[in-house]
Amino acid sequence: MTDDQRSAGAPTLEDVARAAGVSRATVSRVVNGVRNVDPVIQEAVRQAVSVTGYTPNRAARSLVTRRADAIALVVSGAGVEPEAARGDSGTGASGEGDGGSGGSGSFTAQVFADPFFGRVVTGVVDYLRPRGMHPVLMFAETSRAREAVVAYLRQGSADGALVVSTHAEDPLPALIADAGLAAVLFARPARPVPVSYVDLAHQDGARLAAEHLLGRGCRRIATISGPLDVPAGEARLTGFRDTMARHGHPYIPIAEGQFTQESGESAMERLLAEHPDLDGVFAANDLMALGACHVLREHGRSVPGDVAVVGFDDSSAALACRPPLTTVRQPVEGMAAEMTRLLLDRLARPDGPVTSVIFEPELVVRGSA
């Protein structure tokens, strides 16, 4: 591009057409993603776009493609209004996140305080950015907010939604499905809906934790479960108990937590009071395991010398713990990227079938067990 062209303003379609040796209409078709253009011509146009520095006008492009080139990343809360939810401890179907009580400020504060959600955002952004697309972060913790999300999608402000539910009774996935809108969920919904999702083989992850504790020689093992009305919480407990039973341990003390550090501390206090001789603990996420380690230290128990502790997720909390947590890795960033890929595939092929992608867990051994 010449100095005269630069001084004249931003590059135009005509500039790209001249550089590529094709018509303006052909450039428009390539830029707007029309498929029936010869691959050789497409490559010539792309090179001309690079040379000229042309940037498509998104508003004009959306008139042609009827696409917003934006994706809604929705964190959806409980199925009740905040006033009715006070004291309710709804939690993340993903395996983390306390979608608890209070108003919008409380809900968003809890979301941003949880390392899980930051990992989801990282996976989504890293996948969309090279494709020239952007996530729009939305919160849907009330019926009015959920209606706003559905309306936002219906009016075409975003092409589809990536939904992370923080409560087992979340009605948003069903609302989106009933409206015929494109969406993908992070984690299997508590109630079946015809929407694609990504998830982890939670029971297999809990099996890895049980086998590791047994392999260390632990015999008086307890568990801090996640909330049992959440699929991930129930699956992790089931996998752990089944594995322990297969190794001759039919009874495992259980204290239910809410996927928060505070609930892990409370659960560990209860377990120590009822079973002071325990020598191993599996916590169903890292935040609860971090809380458990704090309580054990306060009671003069060394980790892992007196009590071995295994967490779940391999989040930032695992490295913040002292000693660093042995944990079951959930590849959240990769799962979020796959969730995004599934949504873009759905947008390209609206008539395709719904699907699920299940990721495999991995045990990460560190200092706590």
Tokens of 103: 């108003």
Residues in the chain: 369
Q: Which range among 14-23, 107-116, 318-327 shows the weakest confidence by mean pLDDT? A: 107-116
Q: Mean pLDDT over residues 135-145, rounded?
A: 90
Give alpha helix (H) positions in 57-114. Answer: 58-65, 82-85, 104-113
58: confidence class by pLDDT, cuts 50, 70, 90: low
Between 20 and 223, where is the model more confident?
223
Tokens of 318: 């695992």
What pLDDT was estimated at residue 313?
95
All residues at 6 or more sequence positions from 338 whose CB lies less than 8 Å from its CB, including other chains: 198, 357, 359
What pLDDT was estimated at residue 68?
57
pLDDT tens per residue across span 166-211? 887 889 999 999 999 999 999 998 888 999 999 999 999 999 999 9
pLDDT of 85 > 60? The answer is: no
Q: Mean pLDDT over residues 210-223, rounded?
A: 97
Q: Mean pLDDT over residues 211-215, rounded?
A: 98
Q: Which range among 45-54, 182-191, 224-233, 302-311 shows the weakest confidence by mean pLDDT? A: 45-54
Q: Mean pLDDT over residues 109-117, rounded?
A: 76
What pLDDT was estimated at residue 156?
86
| Candidate ranges 95-104, 186-195, 288-297; pick with highest mean pLDDT | 288-297
pLDDT of 10 > 80? The answer is: no
Distance CA 36, CA 326 (A): 53
Measured CA distances, 180 to 152, 157, 160, 194, 348 (Å): 13, 15, 11, 10, 15
Q: Which range among 48-52, 122-126, 169-173, 250-254 shows the weakest confidence by mean pLDDT? A: 48-52
Between 90 and 368, where is the model more confident?
368
What pLDDT was estimated at residue 67?
58
Torsion of CA 47, 52, 58, 61, to 10 degrees: -60
What pLDDT was estimated at residue 5?
44
Angle, helix 13-20 to helix 24-31, in steps of 10 degrees: 110
Q: Which range among 69-78, 210-219, 301-310, 329-338 shows the weakest confidence by mean pLDDT? A: 69-78
What pLDDT was estimated at residue 255?
98
What pLDDT was estimated at residue 105?
56
pLDDT above 70 as % of the chain: 83
Question: In this structure, are residues 241 and 252 in contact, taking their beta carbons and an 8 Å threshold?
Answer: yes
pLDDT of 77 > 60? The answer is: yes
What pLDDT was estimated at residue 94?
41
